[in-house]
Amino acid sequence: MATTEKPTMLVGIDDSHHSLYALEWTLDHFFTIFPSNPPFKLVVLHAKALPSSVVGLAGPGAVDIVPIVDADLKKTAARVAEAAKQMCSSKSVHDVQFEVMEGDPRNVLCEAVEKYHASMLVLGSHGYGAIKRAVLGSVSDYCVHHAHCTVTIVKKPKIKH
Amino acid sequence: METTSIAAAETSEAIMQPEKKKKLKVMVGIDDSEESFYALKWSLDNLYCIAPEASQDGSDGCKLTLVHVQHPFQHFVFPAGPGGATAFYATPSMVDSVRTAQEENSAALLSRALQMCKDKLVKAETLVLNGDPKDMICQAAEQMHIDLLVLGSRGLGKIKRAFLGSVSDYCAHHAICPITIVKPPKERSK
> Which of B13, B4, B44, B15 has its CA nearest to residue B28?
B44
Cα–Cα distance for residue pair B169/B181, rounded to 1 Å: 9
Cα–Cα distance for residue pair A34/A36, rounded to 1 Å: 6
Q: What pLDDT was estimated at residue B9?
A: 39
CB contact under 8 A, B183 and A149: yes
A141 contact residues in B (CB cutoff 8 A): 172
| Residue B79 to residues A152, B83, B86, Cα–Cα distance (Å) | 43, 10, 5
In the structure, how many helices (H) and strands (E) does chain A have?
Answer: 5, 5
A135 contact residues in B (CB cutoff 8 A): 173
CB contact under 8 A, B178 and A154: yes
CB contact under 8 A, B178 and A133: no
Q: What pLDDT was estimated at residue B74?
A: 61
A130 burial via Cβ count (<10 Å: 0-12, 13-18, 19+): exposed
Which of A34, A150, A155 faces B183 most closely, judged by CB atoms?
Answer: A150
pLDDT digits (tens, 9 = 90+) for A74-112: 888 888 888 888 888 888 777 788 888 888 888 888 889
A28 contact residues in B (CB cutoff 8 A): 22
pLDDT digits (tens, 9 = 90+) for A115-155: 988 888 998 876 554 443 444 557 777 888 888 889 999 88
Cα–Cα distance for residue pair B19/A112, rounded to 1 Å: 37
Report the predicted TM-score, pTM, of the whole model to 2 decimal places: 0.75
Interface check for B182 against chain A (CB to CB < 8 A): the answer is yes
**B175 vs A54, residue with greater confidence:** B175
Pairing of strands B148-152, B179-182: parallel
Site from A116, A120, A144 to mutate, B interface, most B CB atoms within 10 angstroms: A144
CB contact under 8 A, B13 and A117: no
B172 contact residues in A (CB cutoff 8 A): 136, 141, 144, 153
Cα–Cα distance for residue pair B24/B60, rounded to 1 Å: 9
CB contact under 8 A, B48 and A155: no
B164 contact residues in A (CB cutoff 8 A): 144-145
CB contact under 8 A, A29 and B176: no
- Could you give the ipTM of this predicted complex? 0.77
pLDDT digits (tens, 9 = 90+) for B30-84: 887 888 888 998 888 877 665 554 444 444 557 788 988 887 766 555 555 554 4
Whether residue B10 is predicted with pLDDT greater than 50 in this model: the reply is no
Cα–Cα distance for residue pair B118/B66, rounded to 1 Å: 13
CB contact under 8 A, B13 and A35: yes
Instruction: Report the DSSP beta bridge partners of residue A152.
Output: A122, B180
Which of A29, A144, A146 faces B24 most closely, judged by CB atoms?
Answer: A29
Interface check for B13 against chain A (CB to CB < 8 A): the answer is yes
Task: Locate the chain A residue with the closest alpha carbon to B161.
Answer: A146
B183 contact residues in A (CB cutoff 8 A): 148-151
Q: What pLDDT was estimated at residue A134?
A: 43
The DSSP secondary-structure symbol of B20 reads: T
